[in-house]
Amino acid sequence: MSIYAVLGAGNGGQALAAILERHGHEVRLWNRTPNKLQAIRNGINVSGQMVFHTVIDVLTTNIAEAIENAKMIFIVVPASAHLDIAKLLASYIKKDQAIILNPGRTAGCLEVRNALVESGCTDLPVILETQSLFCACRSTNPGEVNILSFKMDNSISGIPKTQFTEFKDELESIYINLTFMPSALSTGLENIGAILHPAPVLLNTGWIESRDVFFPHYYYGISRSIAEFLEKMDMERLDVAKKYGLKVRSVKEWHEDNYGTKGANLFETLQKNSAYASIDAPRVLMHRYITEDIPTGLVPISELGRAVGVKTPTIDIIIELGSALLEVDFRKEGRNLRRLGLEGKSINEIKKSFEYNDREGQKSHP
């Protein structure tokens, strides 16, 4: 039996904590605020692909208590919170522990690594990130989680790349169908949510802000024209990856691998995905599909492209539109080259930054 910490008691955090508990591990579930933890003190009911009830060993708002002696620390929060949580962990994390971002979005490992160093952490742990959450799930109420579908081919990587495979056997006992990627740049540039989330929300703003209209995000929110627009964004993402010598899957290929749905184009592929049937579009613009997926997805993809001379005009339209509608400069506030410590670096230097940590000779950048 291992001790695991799960940081974040949202949809994915509750699902992961329940599954780890069911597998016989000791689980500490941490959340910033106590209200949600109080609501699940009597346990978590899981439905959908799995049906069971379990009670979590430790519920806490104390991050030091949550991670003490924990072999792995699963961070299951929107990627926009990674930076803050890394700063909280810096005083307590040990080098023999592992951090797993679920998911890392784009450049999550790098941002967490830099934040730990800048916060005074000298013995850096291995930092891993999955490309996606291990399952599609929703929690309508605290303590009630519906697992809609498990991902059939979820990629994972980490920093330093020379050590993250040490956790391969244990991770494969927790997650199903993992694919180990060569570097965290690979998982970061296979960020599917960045393509599927922000643009459909922004292009359906009128309906989303209507008080009486609710609709499935993937079924009704992504029309044929919007799907074609998403495929243009996706081609830009693939071009950025190609420039770095990486082959990553298109959104359409990713859905075929993870959900087994196939269509002539992205629109048909999404329409055939039954796991998305009950996932509604956001009801406000101030939603993680915007506030997470633009600054930690589209911005770093665009910035990584800029660093190597790859233009991303369609992606940039969505960054600018989201910034204008929400009155937030997402490029300035997001994971840009300066924030990631990559400004002015060559392509080889950028690639190495996603492969090695400071104790292997890499320098941290403010």
Active site residues: 197, 293
Q: How many CB atoms lie within 10 A of CB 260?
A: 12
Q: Are 52 and 29 in contact (CB under 8 A)?
A: no
Strand order in the sheet with 135-141: 52-54, 44-48, 144-150, 135-141
199 to each of 161, 217, 292, 314, how far by Cα in Å? 33, 11, 13, 10
Distance CA 154, CA 150 (A): 9
Q: How many CB atoms lie within 10 A of CB 330?
A: 24
What is the DSSP track for 230-246? HHHHHHHHHHHHHHTT-
Distance CA 60, CA 71 (A): 17
Please name the residue that has the structure tokens 């929107």: 78
DSSP 280: B
Q: Burial of 59 by CB count in 10 Å (0-12 exposed, 13-18 middle, 19+ buried)?
A: buried
Expressed in percent and rounded to 5, the helix, strand and coil fractions of the chain are: 45, 15, 40
Q: Are 126 and 163 in contact (CB under 8 A)?
A: yes
Q: Are 6 and 17 in contact (CB under 8 A)?
A: yes
Q: What would the two tokens of residue 336 be?
A: 């840009």
